[in-house]
């Protein structure tokens, strides 16, 4: 076959996998095409030729994707949502963007050769909230009157509105994704109020793609729910199982009528430590659903950890279920369980061997070996290659990356590339192994192992030496607080904010132009200095006691630090959804970590010189940097965390030397890294808390160390939080119905400063002075006056000044009001 080139005759023609492994060749992969072609010309010109799938093979191997990123490769959904919320566009515009994204995702997977393609994994905000809408479980305060739930009610539950607050938001298992927690009560009435699952199945079918509709399973939905305020101690949401199953039956019946042959129930709570009555709920639920499920293939999907032996036994005996999905990346013990405990005859095993939570290229040879070992247990025709979980936890497409160098890029695979890996493994398992693709993968794996960029002996020795001490400050927190108060002279109920201030369009433009070298460093510094001066004046005018500089120089609280640490790499478009329209761009930790130079001292000192009030130095802690990054998978996570802690320790000491008296080391993600199984908690908390203490063990007693945590259930780790030995902790409280305060009502003694958030910054709703004062009074009922701080739940970066100014005014006024009340009672 002759193919002509632009400047010369054809010399070679071969398949290559160069999108994943670009240093191996200069070919190009497009999932629309089933063959990859590398062409070299006499004059060095490279041309790319593609053969369409229909010319090669039309059969699809046993391959499956649990879920896929929703935001789009260029965050199309984010911008459409925010335009809709700002009333700059209408519902039709938003729905058009959503429809186009869904079509693109389904088409991509179909053309890549995936057999079992998911639908109903798209969401305007969150899949658990979608289930709440499906069940019509709308809390009364949203004044929903029935019928199909529309955007207004849906987004009010997610974000709140001018009248009522949003529903609680918390972490999705141990990820950085957040879900909207259902609020249920004994009197909650259910109705089929959102037909989204059926509509999206039909939408895909009309495009010629037969999908597997995905539903959050009924038992996991209830186990992830919370009892509404007032019935927390007397009511279990699980008791409502008989009430929601009729809705599930309606949905399943409609899906069957629409032509669905498979349905996927996500039941991730099966990986947690479950009580006997909770496991029994799974058995009863699927027994009740069995007649409705008849005629369908039913997959129950689990992810994020091992399935415990008792849960495995329950899962594999569920009525009406024909397939089971397991995370075999984080759940390696499940693999042993399948082999030792056996697998039900005639059932399908969806083997999650491609990591859905990280960005490293799969070790294809190792995964293929795992799959081949399962074949003897499950049977060749019953084994399906899958991802370990939804790919929504990784970046979208490596083809969009221009910032990564070719060596690091060769080690990676984003969601689009993981789809290709799944298909390649399925084909190899079926005897159609692409030898060139596997060889390129093996070469990339070897390159990463041997690269001198990965290993730094000096850093490794310093981290190893940490294990001989607990790195606790020499004096007690009470004595430190006394010394700090003498120096800082703060009022009762001191006010502060968490760190960031609104990031305006103009501010983002300045940063973007500086990175693009369109403005000089001098112009950039001047612009940031002006922004800091503005933020300082705002806080002084509001009469806030401990100030922040607003972080105008920072794009993201993790990326900003990672850009200045060795061992990190950064993407141009590696965005991952955190919640709603909020996306983060996690750094990639590929090697040993160290700090070449100071990272924040210049800006913090500049801000402190603008005001006589205390100015907080703002740092992100080592555990949060770790948990909010894509972490190297070639060494234990705690070793990487200790390396980061040493880097942050140097920064803390430089800030102190520069005259910064209050230093905040955020550990927003400490709780989210907690393993899902209680037997693993102690080990994680030991090294995570130790890492935090390393960062500040060398400062003077008069230097006040703050930390901040957000959006998690802290009650079960409160003793570890105390063990962090911070002088002051600010912590999310308002959106979770102040459940944090219950810890102190139950007798936990806390002697350090503490600032439970007094209002929810993730909602556009502006609280009143009276509302905040009421919250503070509830705190004073369980906390001493001399340790309580008044602050928002989290940073203000995502809000507008029109929302921030009145909210902070109300906060400061509430603190002053209560100070006056306290003074009058003396």
Give dist(CA 649, CA 621) in Å, integer.
10
Q: Which of 38, 549, 708, 762 is catalytic?
A: 762
Residues 694-725 as b/e (b if ≥16 CB within 10 A, e otherwise) read bbbbebebebbbbbbbbbbbbeebeebbbbbb
Query: Burial, 186: exposed, middle or buried (Cβ in 10 Å; 0-12, 13-18, 19+)?
Result: middle
Task: Outline where 401-469 has alpha helix (H).
Answer: 406-409, 415-429, 435-450, 457-464
Q: DSSP 3-state assignment of 236? A: coil
Q: Is-contact 649 694, C-beta < 8 A?
A: yes
Q: Is 277 a catalytic residue?
A: no
Q: Would you state the structure tokens that stand for residue 134, as one six-digit string?
A: 């499906």
What is the Cα Rg of the chain in Å? 27
CB neighbour list of residue 61: distance below 8 Å, 6 or more residues apart? 113, 115, 385, 423, 426, 427, 429, 430, 432
- For 261-299, give the DSSP string: -EEEEE-GGGGS---HHHHHHHHHHHHHHHHHHTTSEEE
Give dist(CA 642, CA 648) in Å, integer.
10
List the one residue out of 186, 188, 184, 189 whose CA is nearest residue 228: 184
- For 533-587, give the DSSP string: HHHHHHHHHHT-SBB--B-TT-S-TTHHHHTTSEEEE--SS--EEEETTEEE---
E strands, 80-236, where?
117-119, 169-171, 178-180, 183-184, 211-216, 226-227
How far CA 736 is from CA of 220, 328, 722, in Å, comes to 20, 33, 20
Give CA 11 to chain center in angstroms. 47
- For 180-217, give the DSSP string: EPPEE-TT--------HHHHHHHHHHHTT--EEEEEE-
In the sheet that 323-327 helps form, which strands lie side by side, from edge to edge? 117-119, 211-216, 262-266, 297-301, 323-327, 348-354, 383-387
Give dist(CA 436, CA 38) in Å, integer.
11
Q: Is-contact 749 715, C-beta < 8 A?
A: no
Segment 580-584 long-range contacts (CB within 8 Å, at least 24 positions apart) = 580/81, 580/125, 580/126, 580/158, 580/159, 581/77, 581/78, 581/81, 581/82, 581/85, 582/78, 582/798, 583/71, 583/75, 583/78, 584/176, 584/556, 584/558, 584/559, 584/628
Give dist(CA 479, CA 474) in Å, integer.
10
Quick count: other Cβ atoms within 10 Å of Cβ 259?
10
Give dist(CA 636, CA 609) in Å, integer.
42
Q: DSSP 3-state assignment of 227? A: strand
Q: What are phi and psi of 638, to 5 degrees?
A: -65, -30
How far CA 182 is from CA of 120, 213, 234, in Å, comes to 19, 22, 17
Q: Which residues are catalytic?
A: 762
């Amino acid at each position: 076959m002759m193919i002509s080139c632009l400047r010369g005759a054809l010399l070679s023609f071969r398949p290559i996998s160069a999108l994943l492994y670009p240093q191996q060749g200069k070919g190009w992969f497009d999932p629309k095409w089933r063959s990859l072609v590398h062409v070299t010309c006499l004059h060095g010109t490279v041309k790319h030729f593609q053969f369409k799938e229909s010319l090669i093979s039309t059969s699809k191997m046993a391959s499956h994707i649990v879920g896929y990123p929703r935001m789009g490769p260029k965050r199309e959904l984010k911008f459409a949502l925010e335009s809709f919320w700002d009333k700059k566009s209408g519902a039709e515009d938003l729905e058009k963007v959503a429809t186009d994204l869904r079509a693109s995702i389904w088409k991509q997977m179909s053309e890549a050769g995936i057999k079992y393609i998911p639908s109903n994994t798209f969401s305007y905000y969150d899949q658990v909230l979608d289930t709440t809408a499906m069940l019509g479980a709308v809390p009364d305060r949203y004044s929903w009157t029935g019928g199909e739930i529309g955007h207004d009610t849906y987004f009010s539950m997610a974000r709140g509105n001018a009248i009522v607050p949003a529903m609680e938001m918390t972490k999705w298992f141990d990820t950085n994704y957040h879900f909207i927690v259902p609020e249920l009560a004994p009197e909650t009435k259910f109705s089929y109020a959102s037909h989204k699952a059926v509509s999206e199945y039909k939408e895909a079918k009309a495009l010629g793609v037969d999908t597997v509709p995905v539903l959050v399973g009924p038992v996991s939905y209830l186990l992830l729910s919370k009892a509404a305020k007032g019935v927390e101690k007397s009511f279990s949401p699980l008791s409502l199982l008989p009430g929601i199953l009729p809705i599930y039956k309606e949905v399943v019946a409609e899906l069957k009528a629409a032509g669905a042959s498979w349905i996927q129930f996500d039941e991730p709570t099966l990986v947690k430590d479950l009580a006997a009555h909770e496991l029994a709920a799974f058995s009863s639920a699927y027994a009740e659903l069995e007649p409705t499920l008849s005629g369908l293939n039913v997959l129950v999907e689990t992810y994020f950890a091992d399935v415990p032996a008792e849960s495995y036994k329950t899962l594999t005996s569920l009525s009406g279920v024909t397939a089971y999905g397991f995370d075999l990346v984080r759940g390696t013990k499940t693999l042993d369980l399948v082999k030792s405990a056996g697998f039900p005859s005639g059932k399908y095993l969806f083997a999650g061997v491609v990591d859905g939570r990280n960005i490293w290229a799969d070790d294809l040879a190792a995964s293929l070996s795992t799959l081949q070992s399962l074949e003897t247990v499950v049977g060749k025709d019953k084994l399906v290659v899958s991802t370990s979980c939804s790919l929504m936890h990784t970046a979208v497409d490596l083809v969009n990356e221009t910032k990564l160098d070719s060596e690091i890029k060769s080690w990676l695979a984003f969601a689009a590339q993981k789809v290709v890996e799944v298909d390649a493994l399925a084909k190899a398992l079926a005897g159609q192994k692409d030898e060139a693709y596997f060889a390129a993968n093996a070469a990339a794996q070897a390159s990463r192992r041997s690269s001198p960029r990965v290993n730094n002996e000096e850093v490794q020795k310093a981290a190893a030496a940490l294990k001989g001490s607990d790195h606790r400050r020499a004096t007690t927190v009470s004595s430190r607080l006394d010394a700090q108060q003498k120096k800082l002279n703060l009022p009762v109920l001191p006010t502060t904010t968490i760190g960031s201030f609104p990031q305006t369009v103009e501010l983002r433009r300045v940063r973007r132009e500086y990175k693009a070298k369109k403005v000089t460093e001098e112009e950039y510094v001047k612009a940031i200095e002006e922004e800091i001066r503005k933020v300082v004046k705002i806080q002084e005018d509001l009469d806030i006691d401990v100030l922040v500089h607003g972080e105008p120089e920072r794009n993201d609280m993790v990326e900003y630090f990672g850009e200045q640490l060795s061992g990190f790499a950064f993407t141009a478009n590696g965005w991952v959804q955190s919640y709603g329209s909020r996306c983060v761009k996690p750094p990639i930790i590929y090697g040993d970590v160290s700090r070449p130079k100071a990272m924040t001292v210049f800006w913090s000192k500049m801000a402190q010189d603008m005001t006589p009030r205390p100015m907080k130095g703002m740092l992100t802690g080592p555990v949060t940097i770790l948990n909010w990054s894509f972490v190297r998978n070639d060494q234990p996570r705690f070793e990487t965390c200790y390396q980061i802690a040493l880097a942050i320790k140097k920064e803390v000491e430089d800030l102190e030397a520069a005259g910064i008296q209050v230093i905040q080391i955020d550990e927003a993600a400490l709780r989210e890294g907690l393993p899902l199984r209680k037997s693993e908690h102690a080990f994680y908390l030991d090294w995570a808390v130790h890492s935090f203490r390393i960062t500040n063990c060398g400062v003077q007693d008069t230097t006040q160390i703050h930390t901040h945590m957000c959006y998690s259930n802290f009650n079960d780790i409160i003793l570890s939080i105390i063990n962090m030995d911070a002088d002051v902790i600010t912590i999310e409280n308002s959106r979770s119905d102040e459940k944090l305060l219950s810890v102190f009502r139950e007798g936990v003694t806390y002697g350090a400063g503490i600032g439970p958030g007094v209002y929810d910054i993730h909602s556009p709703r502006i609280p009143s002075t009276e509302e905040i004062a009421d919250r503070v009074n509830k705190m004073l009922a369980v906390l001493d006056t001399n340790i309580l701080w008044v602050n928002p739940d989290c940073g203000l970066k995502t809000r507008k000044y029109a929302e921030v100014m009145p909210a902070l005014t109300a906060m400061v006024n509430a603190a002053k009001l209560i100070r006056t009340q306290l003074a009058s009672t003396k």
